[in-house]
Amino acid sequence: MNDIESEVKLDKEVSDEQLIKRFQNGDNYAFDLLVKRYKEPLLNFVFRFLGNHTDAEDVVQETFYRLYKNKHYYREIAKFSTWIYTIAGNLAKTELRRRNRRKLFSISHYMSTEKDYDIADTEFGPDTLTNSDITDKIIQDAIDKLSPKFKEVIILRDIQGFSYEEIAEIVHIPLGTVKSRVNRARLRLQKDLKDLVEEP
Amino acid sequence: MMSCDTAKRMLSEYVDHALNEQDRFQVEAHLQQCPDCRKVFSDVEYLTQRLRRAQTVQVSADFDSQLRTRIMDDSQNIPEKGLPIRKMSFGFSGAVVVAAVTFFFFSQLSTPPDGQNSVSHSTMSNVRQFSLPVKGKPIENQTAMSSVDKISEDSLKNPPLPVDESKIKLVGQERQQQP
């Protein structure tokens, strides 16, 4: 078997836990494979959390950078996927807090100058978006309105498709709390998106 | 019949098909009777499916190269092993300050105000004032009573002592007797 074939085999057959083990033992190719496996799912998770592509990509870069630097902190008692999602989720929450502080500052700054500002929404025009895009944007706006603790569980459950048990591991909260948060988040989204659902 | 609140608490597990048969039967019985809850459940089922079909975003083309650059930049700037010199200088100057304060404190205690080198009685009493309380067995109730308490108790029990009123001189009376 040549090198390329063995690499393809490694990519498809080896579990995440085996890859991180190999990476811990100095195999940087295993790190590349982990990046390849998780960059898109993590980006989608963080993008839904922050609602901004550039910020989301920065957070995912930071997540992989920390994985590279702190690879020895991973212990086999946890699934690799829940571990890496915990890191990304924590970084996303930190970014959200930082952004809220910045927003608070900028709002007070604008208010002190007593001027009206019209901010053009360049990405939301009839010519540039399809119906599906618009629906997605409306849903994203409703997700953005949720508080971070509800937002995190609803994204992990309904967009990423994690089980309740996996979410409990990622967020470090009891299973009952996960179920209750998912339930409340769904009811809140239903309330906010009632008009969207009623459309034919 | 099940209340709307109870039904809504079970909403997520119903939508995820995670309810046991009995609970599921009860929820469905409630939904047949309650159009409001039926609408909420139907909306949530639709939204849950819609979220699963939400559009995905892709990483930018230079994602991998940016990550690699950042990791390589970092590995080229590895800090020297051991404590950095700056941290060590802070630690050293801190130790010097602590030593100077301690020396000053003890030199003040051991030098009597009159300039004598021997430790005088007054200096020793000053040192005692700084001593920490000594840990020991707790004082039992009988001995814990202070001497003042004991005196007060005795004076209440005993009959009052006979007083020679002629020996008592009040301040005013004393002044009157002086001339």
Q: Tell me, what CATH number does A128's domain have? A: 1.10.10.10
Pick from A45-54, A85-94, B24-33, B127-136: least confident: B127-136
Q: Do A182 and B46 touch (CB under 8 A)?
A: no
Show which of A102, A119, A136 is a domain's final residue.
Answer: A119
Partner residue opposite B47 with nearest CB, options A35, A69, A189: A189
Residue that the structure tokens 């500002």 belong to: A117
Are A131 and A145 within one domain? yes
Taking CB atoms and an 8 Å cutoff, what residues of chain A touch B60?
Answer: 57
pLDDT digits (tens, 9 = 90+) for B26-81: 999 999 999 999 999 999 999 999 999 888 999 999 999 999 999 988 777 755 44
Are A15 and A1 within one domain? yes
Asked if pLDDT for residue B111 goes beyond 60, the answer is no
Are A133 and A87 within one domain? no
Q: Do A186 and B11 touch (CB under 8 A)?
A: yes
Are A151 and A104 within one domain? no
pLDDT band at residue A160 under the 50/70/90 scheme: very high
Show which of A69, A89, A119 is a domain's final residue.
Answer: A119
HEC-encoded secondary structure of B56-118? CCCCCCCHHHHHHHHHHHHHHCCCCCCCCHHHHHHHHHHHHHHHHHHHHHHHHHHCCCCCCCC
pLDDT digits (tens, 9 = 90+) for A36-66: 999 999 999 999 999 999 999 999 999 999 9
Q: What does the alpha-carbon distance between residue A100 and residue A107 come to, in Å, rounded to a whole number? A: 10
Q: What does the alpha-carbon distance between residue A193 and residue A139 come to, in Å, rounded to a whole number? A: 7
Q: What does the alpha-carbon distance between residue A159 and residue A188 come to, in Å, rounded to a whole number? A: 16
Are A144 and A101 within one domain? no
Predicted structure pTM score:
0.65
The answer, for B4 touching chain A at a CB cutoff of 8 Å, is no
Structure tokens at A162: 């994690």
Predicted local distance difference test score (pLDDT) of residue B87 = 53
Are A108 and A127 within one domain? no
Asked if pLDDT for residue B3 goes beyond 70, the answer is yes
* Nearest residue of chain A to residue B68 (CA atoms): A65
Are A193 and A143 within one domain? yes
Show which of A119, A150, A174 is a domain's final residue.
Answer: A119
Kindly list the domain boundaries of chain B, sorted by start residue: 4-52
Domain count, chain A: 2
* Domain housing A26: 1-119
